Amino acid sequence: MKLTWYGHSCFRIEAGGATIIIDPFLTGNPAWDGGWEGPADGVTHVLLTHGHNDHVGDALDILKKTGAMLVANFEICMHLVGQGVGEGKINPGNHGGTVDCGGFTTTFVNALHSSSFGMDGGKNVYLGNPAGLVLHFPDDKTLYHMGDTDIFGDMALIQELHQPEIGLVPVGDRFTMGGAVAALACRRYFKFQTVVPCHYASFPIVDQSADKFVEGMKGSDTQVLVPEKGEATEI
């Protein structure tokens, strides 16, 4: 599996014959100034955890250019259909559901957050409930993108049901768990082989480093990977 982080919560995953981009907030991302075209090159799937602008990001442009499959909750899918995405290109789901994405599956699990899209004129459009996404590959590791969330006890059930080996974990505080709490979640509820912190060092009002998370994970058997933005890493 090849993983590339583009700052905030945007990741590109290459595995199982698929090229996946999750939460493609690239244009306007303070942590990324390389545009969306490069990260979107060859993308086959666009996955969205929830509807906030800093997660939907460039999804519409990427979907229109690449013809990729959109995997998201029903409300997000239909919102983007209304913006010009073809109905034949959407693969909607919701909490507890698993969808076949061709080469891998995606399961929608809980996340403690909110979800809406800010439109011109100050109007917010409701876009369903936020989710975490568990990606199962037949011949590769299982990956869990937590989305934006706080810690919650039912993370234990996600571990029991899915046994994710790779965790993409928000650590920036204010809108998600902070680093110390995120480390507690990983140590108490999961048996990750590798964890990658995200949702930090972007906007000034979130934590500017993953140091609290790294410190909280000391002594754990889990590898903490703090990647350089835009650089692919084999996991």
pLDDT single digits (tens) 179-229: 999 999 999 999 999 999 999 999 999 999 999 999 999 999 999 999 999
Give the separation between CA 93 and CA 75, rounded to whole angstroms.
9
Domains in the chain, CATH or no CATH each: 2-227 (3.60.15.10)
**CB-based contact 40:47 (threshold 8 Å):** no
Mean pLDDT of 9-34: 98
**Cα 123 off chain centre by:** 25
120-131 tens-digit pLDDT: 888 899 999 999
In whole angstroms, give the CA distance from residue 85 to residue 208.
35
What is the separation of C-alpha 94 from the centre of its chain, rounded to a whole number of angstroms? 15
- How far, in Å, CA of 25 to CA of 101, rounded? 22
Write down the pLDDT at residue 138. 97
Contact in structure between 132 and 157 (CB atoms under 8 Å): no
Q: Average pLDDT, whole number, for the chain?
A: 98
Task: Look at residues 115, 106, 130, 116 and name the one whose alpha carbon lies nearest to residue 44.
Answer: 106
